[in-house]
Amino acid sequence: MSAPPRPTAQGPVVLAAFAAIAALALAAGDAGSPRIALLTVVGALLGIALYHAAFGFTSAFRVLLADGRSAGFRAQLVMLGAACLLFFPALAAGSLFGQPVNGFVSPAGLSVVIGAFLFGIGMQLGGGCASGTLFSAGGGSTRMLVTLAFFIGGSVLGVLHQSWWKALPGLGPVSLIDRFGWLPALLLNLAVFALAYLVAARIERRRHGALESIRRIDAGAFRQGPWPLLAGALALALLNFATLYLAGRPWGITSAFGLWGGKLLQGVGLPVSDWAGFEQPAMREALAGSLLTDITSMMDIGLVFGAFLAAGLAGKFRPEWRIPPRQLLACALGGLLLGYGARIAYGCNIGAFFSGIASGSLHGWLWIASALLGNAAGIRLRPWFALSVPNRC
């Protein structure tokens, strides 16, 4: 029996996506710098990689915790290992090809534990993480547009309360690279990744008898997907490394959401710049400036249009506007928890987990431990909102 024909590319969607990415990059170059223009394109490439590899953190955690399937989680471990191999020597040297670079090393304290736990619940209710929300929205998921709107609202609340959470007990910023040296820290990280990989693989084999491959390639997958998870993992590591060079710091997503919410409130006449969290000089400057000069904003918008392009190439851009009321409520609640949790935990699955661990920051490890607990709690809540759970459908 022959395989069903693949969908053809959607020409108007592809052209619109290319035009949007090009226009964004040109506008960013005019308003900011050539580096921001290039970072916009890097954001678009991240969106393509995330969409074509279906590289979702939320679904990977859900199937691992609920059903023992580990392919997505194992791909994340490969991604982290590749990123650490690239990042650690550069961060120890303080420069990359002559460009000064710094990692995301944030305080490891109670705010990270609580924020990541809330973020984990939000992942399972909202249906996505930070990167997942953006690439799914760009790929045509109207449900993720609802999650994104409330994600922005939760981020504004998080900015308002951030100083209170920062005052809670904690260890302060801890860099494993500074503590142990980059090579011992790298070997330690790689050993943990390898152990976690083996444990996850063993769980899957015991539950299902065989291990799902992260390397399988389908014919025609380059243009239309799906890419193997391994390709997605390596692409994300390389593009994060490109971000480190071009921006002088790793890839982040959610800091832009608080800025977007602040600008929206400022646009309706509210004195946002005088509010707690928004009165900081960097935030005041960002509120007064253009989004075209904000690196994280331009990469986020580029990511959305990159996923839009990937969906068009795959012939899969078909927005669905009907969302059951309980699932709509889950998107709203999940989005609020995602936004609030990310702000008080010093980042999301990208800024805290991926880029934090790639930066040698202890807070990245604390984040993922707490986020997994939050995901487990969120999985238990999913049936209340008519959301499926693997092995319980």
Amino acid at site 381: L
pLDDT at 362: 97
Do the Cβ atoms of 109 and 171 come closer than 8 Å?
A: yes
Q: 390 in a domain, yes or no?
A: no
Is 366 buried (19+), middle (13-18) or exposed (0-12) by CB count in 10 A? buried
Q: 254 in a domain, yes or no?
A: yes
Do the Cβ atoms of 72 and 63 come closer than 8 Å?
A: yes
Nearest to 284 by CA among 251, 247, 258, 250: 258
Do the Cβ atoms of 341 and 122 come closer than 8 Å?
A: yes
pLDDT at 10: 86
3-state SS, residue 109? strand
Do the Cβ atoms of 84 and 357 come closer than 8 Å?
A: yes
Q: 165 in a domain, yes or no?
A: yes
pLDDT at 218: 58
Range of the domain at 248: 11-385
3-state SS, residue 99? strand
Do the Cβ atoms of 226 and 75 come closer than 8 Å?
A: no
**Sheet strands (E) in 148-284:** 170-173
pLDDT at 319: 85
d(C-alpha 381, C-alpha 121), whole Å:
8
d(C-alpha 103, C-alpha 360), whole Å:
8
pTM for the complete prediction?
0.94
Cα angle 5-8-13, degrees, rounded to a multiple of 5: 155
Q: 59 in a domain, yes or no?
A: yes
pLDDT at 322: 85
pLDDT at 7: 74
Q: 169 in a domain, yes or no?
A: yes
Amino acid at site 313: L
Enter the tokens of residue 43.
């954001």
pLDDT at 223: 59
pLDDT < 50 stretches in the chain: 1-2, 219, 392-393
Amino acid at site 387: L
Q: 1 in a domain, yes or no?
A: no
330, 342, 383 from 327: Cα distances, Å: 5, 22, 10
Q: For helices 34-52 and 11-31, what crossing angle results, to 10°?
A: 150
Do the Cβ atoms of 237 and 247 come closer than 8 Å?
A: no
**Sheet strands (E) in the chain:** 95-96, 99-100, 107-109, 170-173
Q: 393 in a domain, yes or no?
A: no
Neighbours of 219 (CB within 10 A): 8
Q: 48 in a domain, yes or no?
A: yes
d(C-alpha 93, C-alpha 102), whole Å:
10
Report the domain count for the chain: 1
Nearest to 224 by CA among 89, 316, 139, 106: 316
Do the Cβ atoms of 344 and 165 come closer than 8 Å?
A: yes
Nearest to 260 by CA among 305, 308, 296: 296
> Sign of the CA dihedral 309, 82, 36, 163?
positive
